Amino acid sequence: MSERSLSHAWLSSWVGKASDVLNAMTEEFERRHGFPPGTNQVRSANHDDQEAARALVQVDVAAGDLVAFYESVGEVTWEDVGNGYFVDSVSKVLQRLTEYGSVRIGANQEHCGLVVGSNGAGLLYVADQDGAVYRTRTASLDSTEVDRVADGLREFLELLERSLTRFVATGEPGYL
């Protein structure tokens, strides 16, 4: 396992740090914004999530780190961080795969992957078979234009955490 791969220990640390910042954010949220916070959590994987993660192993376009992620994390829901950030549950990823197939992205559709989440503005996050994470430029998969936002899932999670921390400090989540 490379030092950039996702281990259970690294994921546990990431969940703990993100959860601490989310808790601090929600404690101050209503006072700062004038209304109560929505759902802002990193949900740990339950037994059903872990079973579905094992099914993800059979999918050609699923990188190993995506499987490791879903064995530990059920989903990420940050409704109040900027426009929102969402990493879907593995069951939702698999349902979308069953209904629509894998996603071909890039100017020449050279990358194939799975939609794993979105931001509240409707842009989608796609993890390709090599582990890189892309963001669509529009709220549709009809356009193949994407931006590579991370070389791997670990980097993507680190960027999410930085967006969260920046949002709590400044009210702006950044570009992700």
- CA–centroid distance for 14 within its chain: 13
How confident is the model at residue 3, as a pLDDT? 60
Going by CATH, does the domain composed of 8-170 fall within 3.30.470.30? no
pTM, rounded to two decimals: 0.93
How confident is the model at residue 119, as a pLDDT? 94
How confident is the model at residue 2, as a pLDDT? 53
pLDDT tens, residue order, the chain (176 aa): 456 789 999 999 999 999 999 999 999 899 989 999 999 999 999 999 999 999 998 888 888 899 999 999 999 999 999 999 999 999 999 999 999 889 887 777 877 899 999 999 999 999 998 899 999 998 888 877 889 999 999 999 999 999 999 999 999 998 88
How is the chain split into domains, by residue range? Answer: 8-170
The residues pairing with 161 across neighbouring beta strands, listed in sequence order, are none
Cα–Cα distance measured from residue 74 to residue 79, given in angstroms and rounded to the nearest whole number: 16
How confident is the model at residue 1, as a pLDDT? 47
In 3-state terms, what secondary structure has residue 142? coil
